[in-house]
Amino acid sequence: MVAVLIVICEVAFWVLLAAGLALRYWAKMPRASVAVLLCEPLLEVLLFVVTVIDLKNGAEPDWKHGLAAAYIGYSIALGHYTIQWVDVRVAHRFAGGPPPSTPKYGAARAVHEWKIAGLWTLASLIAMGLLQGAVWYVGGDGDVSSLRAWQQKMLVVIALNVIIAGSYTLFPKKAPAASVTKG
């Protein structure tokens, strides 16, 4: 049940995002767009409640509960960023908005990567906190090894993002040299 709900929440996230952006750019209904986009957090609340009920009803903690925690952490920490990322691209492509301005080179790119690493770290910490809550909730009688394994996976996510951001800091990508034309 939890795995199916995770898939449903993911699909619903993108459907709500598409509907919200369609209302904003094609239907010219910005208030309705905001209302639809504000429904996004309800998906995480629903998933959280169903996951807790599943555990309360005696379900053995497994990978689905860990994935639910990771999904909720991502949605809380990176959901707004994801919506903005898509919004800028849709506005540029279909509504004459400015092009996306993600930095590509040098210190600006390194700063951008550290911001992304910070968001992923926050997402991982939220997931780890939810997982720890589930461990305490299940108590000493249940097998919580799968929840502990997901906590370790979240540490790997943090480490990978720090490595990526660090690589942009230590080895910054340089802008291409301006071509010299002979006249």
How does pLDDT run across 149-168, given as a tens digit for each residue? 999 999 999 999 999 999 99
* Residue 74 within a domain: yes
* Residue 175 within a domain: no
Q: Which residues, including other chains, have CB under 8 Å from residue 104's CB and lie 6 or more apart?
A: 173, 175
* Residue 153 within a domain: yes
Q: What's the rounded mean pLDDT across residues 29-43?
A: 93
183 has pLDDT over 60: no
Name the residue range of residue 95's domain: 2-170
Confidence class for position 35, pLDDT limits 50, 70, 90: very high
- Residue 182 has a pLDDT of 60
* Residue 181 within a domain: no
- Residue 16 has a pLDDT of 95
Q: What's the rounded mean pLDDT across residues 82-105?
A: 94
Task: Supply the mean pLDDT for the chain.
Answer: 92
Asked whether the whole model's pTM tops 0.85, one would answer yes
* Residue 94 within a domain: yes
Q: Which residues, including other chains, have CB under 8 Å from residue 12's CB and lie 6 or more apart?
A: 43
37 has pLDDT over 60: yes
174 has pLDDT over 80: yes
Residue 99, phi then psi, degrees to nearest 5 = -70, 155
Q: What's the rounded mean pLDDT across residues 57-62?
A: 87
1 has pLDDT over 90: no
Residue 32, phi then psi, degrees to nearest 5 = -65, -35
* Residue 122 within a domain: yes
* Residue 46 within a domain: yes
Give CA–CA dist 46/112, Å, rounded. Answer: 32
Tokens for 21, please give them. Answer: 């952006």
- Please name the residue ranges forming H helices in the chain: 2-25, 30-37, 40-56, 63-95, 106-138, 145-170
* Residue 182 within a domain: no
Burial of 103 from C-beta contacts in 10 A (0-12 / 13-18 / 19+): middle
Q: How many domains does the chain have?
A: 1
